[in-house]
Amino acid sequence: MTTRDRVLKGLGVLVGATGLAYPVCAAVCPRGKGDCPYPGKCFLYTDVDTNSICDYTRSTTSSAPAGSNAVVQAAPATPASGVTTTATATTTTPVPVSPGPNTLGLLPVSALLAGVFAFIVATAVLFIGLRSGRFGGRTQDPGPALALSSLFGLGTAEIVTYLLIGQNTSASLFAAFYLLAGTVLTAYAWKSGALSRTVVLGLTVMSVLFGFVLLAPLMPIEFIGLVGLVTGTQTLAPGIIGILGGIGLALVTGRTFCGHICPVGSIQELAYTVPVQKITGLPGRYLEILRAGIAVASVVAGLYLVSIMEYTGVYDFFSLTLSTGFLVFAGLLVLSAFLYRPVCRGICPFGLIFSIPSHVSRYRLRRTGSCINCRKCEKACPARVAGRDASKRECYLCGRCTEVCPVEGALAYSAAE
């Protein structure tokens, strides 16, 4: 395939996927319609007038000295076609704060500085540990060691910053940055040969923690955003930019996001490490057919502002909200101990989207001339995509193949020659 063909395919993928992602709250609280099951958890969609109907709001706070009342004005909700809604202006009085000039204005700056400090400390500690071999394998080259330590430092810094700021800011912004930067850093680490199975598991733990703190934004439930973009009621936001950027990067890096950054995929990866009898006889194409059918059904349901993916219980699980949804995802997680990534491979519409550019991605795990055809990688691959001529669209870069390969350098994350 020529470079021109790759570019044309990449543009086609990006154009076709434009409507398949949107900010975290739109799926939970459709614009001005329906009961709001998550009051207070949405940042753009909140029940400001306590009438159990989600209102699309962008609040602005007037500047005021510390200790004085701040007035928050909610923008009117934009109703869907044929639906009449009413949004009311709400005046709120913040909790009194300790005396000091512009305390509210200094809080985000203080949180940002704390996040930067956490990033520097975490990155430095991990960098020293990786270079010295205290965390397992020793990373000789400073570049890969810095990339890995920066990735863990980034996750730590974002968690610290978000916890300090609280829900006064959008989780989608944090998630988008983690998605884009994390994808690039993990791809560089793979290319440098610095990622081992142990490090991969460490990354999954970080991403799972990230999901619990930020309530797993940008996850499968956002698929209904296709409706918002098609009807013109949804505009670009950090969530959209992050997802579309991730899809574009998948053309180069493969499924680094699904494999290492996505909290839903990461927690399934951890579940599969449980030592139980695995389900290995189910052909992967059956799961792909199921996933494609669910994606089509999600689009149809989205026309009526119904999110099928909401019923997976992703948000309830990561927000530790005990409900039917929580139990549904917990059941899927139990299944993940027996069947490799059932949500990614058989349910998640974004899994389908990311598989398209990954099918033609420039970088992927490839066999080199050192391969002795022992087929140990094929036996170790839980997705059954390690064959010499197999498509790598469902390769989640779990590291099992490189771990069992008896010949150093026989498998490499590289571009096509």
Tell me the domain boundaries of the chain.
Answer: 106-415
103 versus 315: which is more confidently predicted? 315
Residue 83 to residue 75: CA distance in whole angstroms:
17
pLDDT at 303: 73
Dump pLDDT digits (tens) for 256-282. 999 999 999 999 999 999 999 999 888
Residues 402-408 have a mean pLDDT of 93
**pTM check: above 0.75:** no
Residues 295-310 have a mean pLDDT of 78
Radius of gyration of the chain from its Cα atoms, rounded to whole angstroms:
23
pLDDT at 139: 67
Q: Taking the CA of residue 252 as centre, how many other CA atoms within 13 Å lie in the half-sphere pointing to its CB?
A: 13
Dump pLDDT digits (tens) for 330-353. 999 999 999 999 999 999 988 898
Lowest mean pLDDT among 43-57, 118-132, 149-163, 349-363: 43-57
Q: Which residues contact 187 (CB under 8 A, 6 or more apart)?
A: 249, 252, 253, 254, 256, 363, 413
Structure tokens at 270: 């951890």
pLDDT at 31: 38
* Residue 5 confidence (pLDDT) above 70: no
Structure tokens at 55: 């209102």
Residues 156-175 have a mean pLDDT of 80
Across all residues in the chain, what is the average pLDDT?
75
Residue 148 to residue 206: CA distance in whole angstroms:
12
pLDDT at 219: 67
Confidence bin at 217 (pLDDT 50/70/90):
low
* Residue 150 confidence (pLDDT) above 60: yes
* Residue 356 confidence (pLDDT) above 90: yes
